[in-house]
Structure 1
């Protein structure tokens, strides 16, 4: 982690001017929790509670694959405990970026003519928009796919499901492979039938492995090293059908080094 990341708000202040979509050769998709930011955004929220932790009954109510439902319960509990919108906003802004991610954003900003950026996350729109704007990188992203969220009249942040799907691997509220396939088809049509030359997917969690099944042999999956996505992709590699390149990362610098080589290819 750089000195700036440890001691200052992670903010890029240079003006961002997205390149024309038809000029961008590559698509980069980012997860949010524990990928762009260094932890789960839910964990940051818990620290705004009077006791700085969830009660045992709420902790124990979590079920595998029910992240969205669990977050809804946490948000309802926070409202009951009097946690304000301002406290939530401040807590989200204070979450540090993952190691080297601001360096990665700086690199992508300097090569906007090559890269189109998208967020695909099972967090929620309020958290992601708040953090990206505070960091000064919101304009780098063409699209954010995540669960809708808004504050109701009582001051509670209400979270909805992104969509429904039939994928057996993913939580009921979101399949990132469905999102990726639909987005690629939509963008190819908008680009006059021209597909992206390569697609890059950067993530960490189990639900980040499924979209990698939609990637081809020229594409690259960037799993955070030794996290669930990485372990699942190593299992996928046992299948002859899975031909996507896998580049584990610890820091955003690892991703920058790999992208540089690809961009410089003739």
Structure 2
């Protein structure tokens, strides 16, 4: 399939029932998580490879509080800076994190189908790490938007980290609710006249479950098999099936995601 255009006889409506944008606008929104979805590690854990002795002091580790991980990582960034760890040292760690199995295959497929998919990334990691990793792999250009906690060198050349936003969601960490992030993104694109036919979401973590409430019929969740997002969707399907309105396609290799997206395009 060389393009992504409406097929005669099919209704060209978005997922909310409104008329689609003009031809040439991507028909589908594809959302990626980062840690343990695009890359095969938790990048915050990988960051420790830049620390002295590749570990953190027990006194620092003891400051972690459930639901306030971003605050904890702010202290980790400060500790690294105080210990003389440079942004380039940290960048090299992020650049060396391996992609998950099959992710290169999926990205190569998406490169060829850029007219069909608008691709964004929503991550509770940090912008410095995500950007460093994607640029090293050569796939930064796939993504229209990278939405993550702001980070980067300050005026003294020390990496600093900030929370993305505040919210009232009781299920999510204090610094980021991905449901709120994705809702705001969809509203922003709607103001631009862009209405997607379907939403596809590739993730793994518990915080990737919250935006599942935005899925409707024809939308697809791609949870990494055996990870928290997969388990939470399974539990929701058993407890309250109407609350999960999309379909679920678990994956172990991102090649499985590519195969499913290929089949969707064949039906268009």
Q: Tell whether the structures are fold-level matches, with TM greater than 0.5.
A: yes
Q: What aligned pairs does 1:157-172 form with structure 2 within 5 A after superposition?
A: 157-172=159-174
Q: What aligned pairs does 1:5-24 form with structure 2 within 5 A after superposition?
A: 22-24=24-26
How far is the alpha carbon of 1:117 from its aligned partner?
0.3
Aligned partner of 1:198 in structure 2 is 198
**Which whole-Å deviations, capped at 9, do the CAs of 1:209-230 have from their partners, x for residues lacking one?**
0011111121011111111111
Aligned partner of 1:187 in structure 2 is 189
TM-score of the aligned structures, taking structure 1 as reference length: 0.88
1: CA distance, partners of 2:111 / 2:156 = 39
Aligned partner of 1:228 in structure 2 is 228
**Which whole-Å deviations, capped at 9, do the CAs of 1:57-84 have from their partners, x for residues lacking one?**
2233322222211211111111122211
Aligned partner of 2:80 in structure 1 is 78
How far is the alpha carbon of 1:188 from its aligned partner?
2.2
TM-score of the aligned structures, taking structure 2 as reference length: 0.87
How far is the alpha carbon of 1:21 from its aligned partner?
8.8
1: CA distance, partners of 2:66 / 2:232 = 16
How far is the alpha carbon of 1:135 from its aligned partner?
1.0
Conservation of the 8 A alpha-carbon contact between 2:213 and 2:243: no
Give 1:39's match in structure 2, choosing from 35, 38, 41: 41
RMSD of aligned Cα (Å): 1.5
Aligned partner of 1:173 in structure 2 is 175
Q: What aligned pairs does 1:1-266 form with structure 2 within 5 A after superposition?
A: 22-191=24-193, 194-237=194-237, 238-239=239-240, 240-266=242-268
Aligned length: 245
Secondary structure in 1 aligned to 2:50?
coil
2: CA distance, partners of 1:243 / 1:259 = 18
2: CA distance, partners of 1:249 / 1:63 = 31
How far is the alpha carbon of 1:182 from its aligned partner?
1.4
Conservation of the 8 A alpha-carbon contact between 1:216 and 1:243: yes
How far is the alpha carbon of 1:22 from its aligned partner?
4.4
1: CA distance, partners of 2:263 / 2:223 = 18
How far is the alpha carbon of 1:250 from its aligned partner?
0.8
2: CA distance, partners of 1:265 / 1:63 = 47
Structure 1 unaligned regions, length at least 5: 1-19
1: CA distance, partners of 2:59 / 2:83 = 15
